[in-house]
Amino acid sequence: MRRAPGARATRGVSLIQLLVGMSLGVTVVGALGAFFVQGSRSSREDINVASLLNELGFATGQLGVDLEMAGFWAQAHDPNAIDADGTLAITGTDCGPTGWYRDLRALQILDNATAAEMHAEFPCLAADDLVGGTDVIAIKRVLGRVAGTNTDSSELRAGTLYLRSHDRFGLLYRHGGGTPRTVETPYEDWQYAPVVYYVQRYTVSATESPQVPALCRMTLQSASGGAPAFVRDCVAQGIENLQIEIGVDDDDDGSANYFAPSPDTAQLRNASTARIYLLARSVRPDVNYLNAKSYQIGNMPDAFTPTGAQVHYYRKTLSTEVSLRNPRALQGVAVQ
């Protein structure tokens, strides 16, 4: 058929041009897809690692504060100068032998114990909840602020245990549990805060799936003003192992010459610092991530190498050193 006058000729697309165009399109789409997938993986990794580091930092911060203040008894200084009042009482299971909560040993360390050994030493810990091969640390002290005085007791809470101190002497009593023995004025009341740190198999519930290990602690808390009980408080999730070593200062220069995971009495007399080691994993797995590294912190008896589903978790270790501010009170430290 003849073309109309003035009309332009049209040209079709050849098969080769079509194939080249399709190839370029597939390449671009593939590149964009790979970029998206890589970006998604990188984003998941960043979120997992950031959350992991946050939990590690918070855990070491909480544990470090308690360790630094271990054996702090306000003006009393010497726990032998503190009497136990008849108002003292707790409910539930104590974290040691009868009356353990009134025993003012500043620090107890159970080193690389089995779950059964942990429960035997600290009955408030349920053996089925515990991760074996880690340390358990019990710390006793009073909090670092005055809660009340002989002229102002408005902030004292019923059921809470306090140290009432005058000069170098003190009385441990329960507020609201009766009238404590008379203490010479002026006096100050400081909240008593015994705590037991340990690693638990899960964070929220034993039935959670998958279970996420956590650094937890037992603290004394009162419900409705009654006698207090040891209650679980999980500090940070993802914590798989905890190790503590005591820094020993042999030459009295204020710095540790070496670190002992199981210090004896002589070493404890020269304790100047404590070193905290933590191994943590991400809360969520990443199926595209494979972790074949081995981990060993402190004096762990065996290195940990993830296997099975555990290879899909990101892991980090952290160590920090804190000063022991009350070395005289640590001379009675018990290490099992």
Residues ≥6 apart with Cβ < 8 Å to 34: none
CA dihedral 82, 83, 86, 90 (to 10 degrees): 40
Spatial distance between the Cα atoms of 58 and 80, rounded to a whole number of angstroms: 33
The pTM is what? Answer: 0.85
How many Cβ atoms sit within 10 Å of the Cβ of residue 77?
18
pLDDT score of 329:
56
Rounded to the nearest 10°, the torsion over CA 154, 155, 157, 161 is -110
The CB-side HSE value for 217 (13 A sphere, CA atoms) comes to 20
pLDDT at 133: 95
Question: What pLDDT tens digit does each residue of the chain (336 aa) get?
Answer: 555 555 555 566 677 766 766 777 767 666 655 554 455 556 767 788 899 999 999 999 999 999 999 999 998 888 999 999 999 999 999 999 999 999 998 888 999 999 999 999 999 999 999 999 999 999 999 999 999 999 999 999 999 999 999 999 999 999 999 999 999 999 999 999 999 999 999 999 999 999 999 999 999 999 989 999 999 999 999 999 999 999 998 888 878 999 988 877 777 778 889 999 999 999 999 998 999 899 999 999 889 999 999 999 999 999 999 998 876 555 544 444
Cis link prior to 301 (omega < 30° from 0)? Answer: no
Q: N- to C-terminal Cα distance for the chain? A: 105
Helix and strand counts by DSSP (H, E) for the chain: 3, 15
Judge residue 192's burial from the number of C-beta atoms within 10 Å of its C-beta, 0-12 exposed, 13-18 middle, 19 or more buried. Answer: buried
If one counts every other C-beta atom within 10 angstroms of the C-beta of residue 30, the result is: 10
Give the CA count within 13 Å in the CB-facing half-sphere of 38: 6
What's the pLDDT at 335?
Answer: 45
Considering only CA atoms, which of 243, 287, 216 is closest in space to residue 113?
A: 243
Q: CA angle, corner 66, sides to 182 and 259, nearest 5?
A: 125
Task: Kindly report whether the peptide bond that precedes residue 210 is cis, defined as omega within 30 degrees of 0.
Answer: yes
Residue 261's pLDDT is what? Answer: 87
The per-residue b/e assignment along 289-325, b for 16 or more CB within 10 angstroms, e otherwise, is: eebeeebbbbbbeeebebeeeeebbbbbebeeebebe
